Structure 1
Amino acid sequence: MAGELWGSMFSLAGVVLGGALTAFTQRAAQRSADEAEERRQSAATADARRAEQVQAIQEFLACAQLAERAAYARPEVWGADEDGWMTGAQEVMTKLWTADRAVALLCDPALEAPARAYGHALNQAVWREIGDVQINEHLEEHKNAFMIAARASLART
């Protein structure tokens, strides 16, 4: 009878040990699956965030190009088309400032100052607050600074 008791206890200990190992294995597998899902979600979020940043930068550049065109299209002598140019330039500059704020909101904070400086330079060019300096000369430094900052910003994401 003592032998049967010891045998039963060993059997019971085996069942308990087997159950504990199974529970431990299942828990480790679940933890590993949870961590993998967290990494996948983190990567998806980072990809979506980068896409938003690229879109904000592209929109800012598209608006900057429109503003540059408006600066070059400004009439030297005002005439009948003054109101049309003025309305168009105001619309373009409003779009540029909206795109500038999107860059500030969505992109690396290091990109905000170069975007603002480039936008300010474009504003000066459009409204001819640049004296005798050529438009392209006035914009080049600011455009390059923005592009360098944008590349660096996207490289970090």
Structure 2
Amino acid sequence: MYGGELWVSAFSLAGVALGGGLTAFTQRATQRSAERIERRRQAVATAEARRAEQVQAIKDFIACAQKAERAAYRRPQPWGDDEDSWMTRTSPVMTELWIAERAVVLLCAATLQPPIHNYGRELNQAVWREIGDSEVNEFLEEPKAAFMAAARTALASAPE
């Protein structure tokens, strides 16, 4: 019986070793799977945060563009009584517009850079009356539409 007990012990020891190995393998596989899931979760959270930043940057630019448009409509006649105070009020509006444009350029797709720059430049010309006989809304219609279309496309193609 001594030989039989040895075999039983050997099989038991082999079973324990095999069970321990399988347990270690299973734990490692589970740990790797959990790590992959966490990396994916973090990537999704980062993408969502980035998209929120992009949307906010575009909204901020649009708000600044509206202020600049209002300033262009309110521009007094050259050398009028109100021109100095208008310029004092308008200069910070234009600075805010340029800062908002840079934020969009920094945070959004490169395809948005040309249309936003063009729209900003056209707004600048409208504000400072470098548009000839054109009406402000007619002068800005095309670059505004191009910017909005590019912004919509950039946000639609942003990773989610």
Q: TM-score, normalised by structure 1?
A: 0.96
Structure 2 gaps, min length 5: none
- Whichever residue aligns with residue 90 of structure 1, its letter is S
CA positional deviation for 1:27: 0.9
Q: SS at the partner of 2:24?
A: helix
Q: How does 1:13-24 map to 2 (within 5 A)?
A: 13-24=14-25
CA positional deviation for 1:77: 4.8
For 2:35, the equivalent position in structure 1 comes to 34
| 1:73-94 deviation digits (Å, cap 9, x = unpaired) | 0012533211110111211111
For 2:87, the equivalent position in structure 1 comes to 86
For 1:146, the equivalent position in structure 2 comes to 147
Cα RMSD (Å): 1.0
CA positional deviation for 1:127: 0.7
Q: How does 1:8-87 map to 2 (within 5 A)?
A: 8-87=9-88
8 Å contact kept, 2:77–2:83: no
Aligned residues: 157
**d(CA) in 2 for partners of 1:78, 1:48:** 48
**d(CA) in 2 for partners of 1:76, 1:82:** 7
CA positional deviation for 1:32: 1.1
**d(CA) in 1 for partners of 2:117, 2:6:** 84
- Whichever residue aligns with residue 136 of structure 1, its letter is N
**d(CA) in 1 for partners of 2:116, 2:139:** 15
For 1:97, the equivalent position in structure 2 comes to 98
Q: How does 1:123-138 map to 2 (within 5 A)?
A: 123-138=124-139
**d(CA) in 2 for partners of 1:37, 1:78:** 64
- Whichever residue aligns with residue 110 of structure 2, its letter is P
Higher mean displacement: 87-96 or 54-63: 87-96
Q: TM-score, normalised by structure 2?
A: 0.95
**d(CA) in 2 for partners of 1:77, 1:147:** 32
